[in-house]
A and B are shown apart, each in its own frame.
Chain A
Amino acid sequence: MTKAAVKIKDFSFKYPDATAALDNINLEIAHKERVALIGPNGAGKSTLLLAIGNFLKSQDPIEIDGLLSTKKNIKKIRQKLGVLFQDPNDQLFMPRLFDDVTFGPLNMGLPKEEVILRSREALRSVGLLEKKERQPHHLSAGEKRAAAIATVLAMKPEIITMDEPDSSLDPRSQNKLIELLNQMEQTLIIATCNVNFVARVCERIVLMDDGKIIAIGNRKEILGNQELMNKHGLEVPAQAILED
């Protein structure tokens, strides 16, 4: 039997002030699958991504490619799972773009030649190889997003989680990002409120609200269900995008 990329069973999480952020989450994501977590603000999408990324302290374990999210497995999980945060500025903390991209592979203990090779490859794949010497604060919002993706790609993870990757991007940058995501072979888990964006990237949709999973289905089933979408504060994407 093949292992699921991510397996979450009866997962709940409360913040220290006892606010329930996630309530009895059950979700299984296969390898190479592209899954969107959609829902209104405060639905628990980002918290679920943090849980998958093993950043929350919880008694309920999550399985990442068959590995339980325990302290013992954290290093292996970090190599299998790349995390793209909402604000690319948080991910680009070194003075030079190339240093940022090499940060992850160096932490993995790879030989220097391999680190350079992977980093150049990751930068080339997002179209930023020529800007590798640039300081991150000199990049545009779209370039920063692409650079943040390169920092993750350089670690060659099997699974990538992305929190609102489309935020603050103009339509041209969004199109570039969609093109890039559609070329990626990894398992993608994308949290966003932008239904037009996910309709062009993800095949499977998980609708969340109030810390719970409300519905899981393919994009036509979920995104095309006006009543369901409106009930949870979302809009239905353009028909043309759904049928694309």
Chain B
Amino acid sequence: MHHNYIDRYSDGNTIIHSIDARVKILSAILFSIVVVGLPRYSIAPLIWFMIGPFTIFILAKIPFKFVISRIVIAAPFIVALAVCYSFIDSESRQVNFGPWQMQIRESLLICANIIIKFTLTMSALTALTATTPFSSLLCGLEKLYVPRLLILQLAILYRYIFLLIDIVGRYLRSYSARSLRYLGFKREMTIRSAMIGSILISSLDISERVNLAMMARGFDGKIHALSQEKIRGRDFLFAAIVCMYLVVLKVILW
């Protein structure tokens, strides 16, 4: 079955794809920290931060439709949180949009600020995951001293999420093949609850079988990895460009 997986475009051969995973991870983290650390009432200056991720999308030939779909998937929780903020009663504040000046309620400014910051950090994360194969990402995390147990969990999660999606797909197809009419809310909910229960049991079965397969190949709780990647000149150059870009924006805009 074909899935809409997060590193679908990671097999590209652009300059961005060839940058070491560690450099990309650190750049994405640094970018996110700088963005999150910006004042909570600033709106217009944040737009300048869009240039970075979007330059990467263009250089790495990542379709904008894919980027937007990633952001939209993660959006509901943050948007709900931000919208809640907008209902808080607060004073108005003068905001400059180039030559124009407007009086906007502080709560609305915070709401917009949260949504823009979220879009920026999600763009950075998407730029990272869309241009780095998941295995290289894990290798990079390992070299950055992220605990190996966490890395193994991520690796298995990434693999098994697709199997679980397959199971859910099979259940839904089987249900729709025999579901000829609406059975009423209560009955439909009972059926869906039973399906969720079966999916949970299936996932437990999978985890048990995976555990057996791991033990059969000598797994004793310790994780051994094979990482050979080395940082090259172009990686240093990329890191320097990212740092300069963030410093320049910080200095010019504030």
Contact = CB atoms under 8 A, between A and B. Distances in A.
B155 A90 contact: no
Interface bin, chain A: 35 or more
Contacts of B160: 93
A78 B133 contact: no
Interface string A66-93: 0000000001001100110101011111
From DSSP, what is the main secondary structure of chain B's interface residues? Answer: helix
A53 interface: yes
A53 B155 contact: no
Given A85-B212, A93-B213, A99-B155, 17 more contacts: A50-B212, A75-B220, A78-B215, A87-B209, A90-B209, A90-B213, A92-B159, A93-B160, A95-B138, A96-B135, A103-B217, A107-B217, A112-B228, A133-B133, A137-B159, A155-B217, A155-B218
Contacts of B162: 137
Interface in A99-157: 99, 102-104, 106-109, 112, 115-116, 133, 135-137, 151-152, 155
B175 interface: no
B224 interface: yes
Interface of B: 3, 5, 11, 133-135, 138, 155-156, 158-160, 162-163, 206, 209-210, 212-220, 222, 224-226, 228
B222 to A, nearest CB: 8
From DSSP, what is the main secondary structure of chain A's interface residues? Answer: helix
A20 interface: no
A94 interface: yes
B9 to A, nearest CB: 13
Interface in A149-178: 151-152, 155
Contact of B226 (A83, A91, A99, A155): A99
Nearest to A89: B163
